[in-house]
């Protein structure tokens, strides 16, 4: 493989994440904010390394007898594209030879623990929501061989969003820790793309109402964020098992924001780690 296609650092680590062959355990958790990884530290019995380059911070350690990595993606599916591809390369490829390993390795299990805003008044702030699937309005999968694009009523003026589902086994395992499930919308921005009208007016004044009226595969559209659809779709193409759980910090319908955001995030982390240690 050409050096321009798999770009490595002088120590043969992948270019952005600075991770090498042998660094990647089977179980990974992704978060957006690098500083949020500090909330995981008290749960680790041993830390092997904790490194950061740009917005990508990687913490690898042991909880009980299980090795686990927590990695920050920053914001958006453009960063998800970097993180998932480079995790795959460091896990499944010989980086020195720049070729895929011949040995069959178990699929990576990738659990996103994020924050989100709900579109529904029935879902309160400080609750936990599992994404059964996600609609991507971020264009990432237009650049890959992805087939599942959806026509949504009332959104004909926008490009078709792509749809991807959660790993069925992981969703079943983690469903007991959440309060709600539904379909997540992944936006390609925080302001106009999520229907915010400050400081500029959004193009579609009814954007949130139209999204909330949608149903996909029998599940209602419940919330907005910026990573899940990219993780689900790209992860599927890369042979990963992916699941996204969100702490609901905002209710867009009721115009409310959590008064204790760090507390619900800590609760989500504690519950998820307890279950992830015993996930198949």
pLDDT in tens, 60-100: 999 999 999 999 999 999 999 999 999 999 999 999 999 99
Cα 181 to its chain centre, rounded Å, is 15
| pLDDT tier, 35 (very low <50, low <70, confident <90, very high otherwise) | very high
Element (H, E) at 46: strand 46-53
Q: What is the CATH T-level fold of the domain 27-276, as seen in this structure? A: Rossmann fold (3.40.50)
* Average pLDDT of span 244-269: 97
Q: Answer for the pair 153, 209: CB distance below 8 angstroms, yes or no.
A: no
* Average pLDDT of span 273-279: 87
Cα separation of 64 and 25, whole Å? 14
Segment 91-133, tens digit of pLDDT: 999 999 999 998 889 999 999 999 999 999 999 999 999 999 9
Q: What is the Cβ-side half-sphere exposure of residue 127, based on CA atoms within 13 angstroms?
A: 19
Q: Answer for the pair 169, 280: CB distance below 8 angstroms, yes or no.
A: yes
Helical ranges in 162-254 per DSSP H: 168-174, 207-212, 228-237
- Which pLDDT does position 203 carry in this prediction? 83
* Average pLDDT of span 234-244: 98
Q: What is the Cβ-side half-sphere exposure of residue 219, based on CA atoms within 13 angstroms?
A: 21
The CA angle 129-133-135, to the nearest 5 degrees, is 110
Question: Strand 109-118 and strand 241-251: pairing?
Answer: parallel
pLDDT above 90 for 149: yes
What distance, in Å, lies between the first and last C-alpha atoms of the chain?
33
Cα separation of 258 and 235, whole Å? 30
Selection from 134, 124, 140, 143 nearest residue 164 by Cα: 134
Question: Mapping DSSP to helix (H, G, I), strand (E, B) and coil, where does residue 212 land?
Answer: helix
- Which pLDDT does position 206 carry in this prediction? 87
Among the ranges given (29-33, 203-207, 255-259, 261-265), the one the predictor scored with the smallest mean pLDDT? 203-207
| pLDDT tier, 1 (very low <50, low <70, confident <90, very high otherwise) | low
Q: Answer for the pair 115, 251: CB distance below 8 angstroms, yes or no.
A: no
Percent of all residues in the chain with a pLDDT value above 90, rounded to a whole number: 89
Selection from 84, 75, 70 nearest residue 113 by Cα: 70
Q: Answer for the pair 53, 33: CB distance below 8 angstroms, yes or no.
A: no
The CA angle 170-174-176, to the nearest 5 degrees, is 145
- pTM of the predicted protein model: 0.97
- Which pLDDT does position 61 carry in this prediction? 98
Q: What is the dihedral of CA 240, 166, 224, 79, to 10 degrees?
A: 0
Q: How far is CA 191 from CA 202, 224, 239, in A?
A: 8, 11, 33
Cα separation of 201 and 205, whole Å? 8
Domain boundaries, the chain: 27-276
């Amino acid at each position: 493989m050409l050096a321009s296609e798999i770009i490595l650092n002088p120590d043969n680590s992948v270019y952005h994440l600075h991770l090498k062959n042998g660094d990647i355990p089977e179980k990974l958790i992704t978060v957006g904010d690098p500083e949020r990884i500090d909330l995981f530290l008290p749960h680790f019995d041993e830390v092997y390394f904790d490194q950061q380059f740009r917005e990508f911070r990687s913490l690898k350690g042991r909880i009980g007898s299980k090795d686990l990595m927590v990695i920050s993606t920053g914001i958006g599916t453009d960063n998800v594209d970097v993180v998932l591809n480079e995790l795959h390369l460091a896990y499944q490829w010989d980086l020195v030879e720049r070729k895929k390993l011949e040995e069959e390795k178990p699929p990576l299990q990738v659990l996103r623990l994020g924050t989100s805003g709900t579109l529904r008044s029935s879902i309160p702030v400080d609750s936990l929501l599992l994404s059964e699937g996600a609609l991507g309005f971020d264009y990432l999968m237009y650049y890959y061989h992805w087939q599942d694009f959806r026509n949504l009523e009332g959104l004909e003026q926008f490009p078709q969003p792509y749809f991807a589902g959660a790993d069925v086994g992981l969703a079943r395992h983690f469903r007991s820790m959440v309060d709600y499930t539904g379909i997540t919308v992944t936006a390609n921005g925080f302001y106009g793309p999520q229907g915010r009208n400050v400081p500029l007016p959004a193009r579609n004044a009814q954007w949130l109402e139209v999204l909330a009226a949608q149903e996909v595969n029998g599940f209602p559209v419940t919330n907005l964020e910026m990573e899940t659809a990219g993780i689900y779709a790209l992860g599927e193409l890369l042979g990963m098992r992916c699941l996204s759980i969100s702490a609901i910090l905002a209710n867009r319908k009721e115009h409310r924001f959590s008064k204790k955001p760090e507390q619900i995030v800590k609760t989500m982390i504690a519950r998820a780690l307890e279950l992830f240690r015993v996930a198949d």
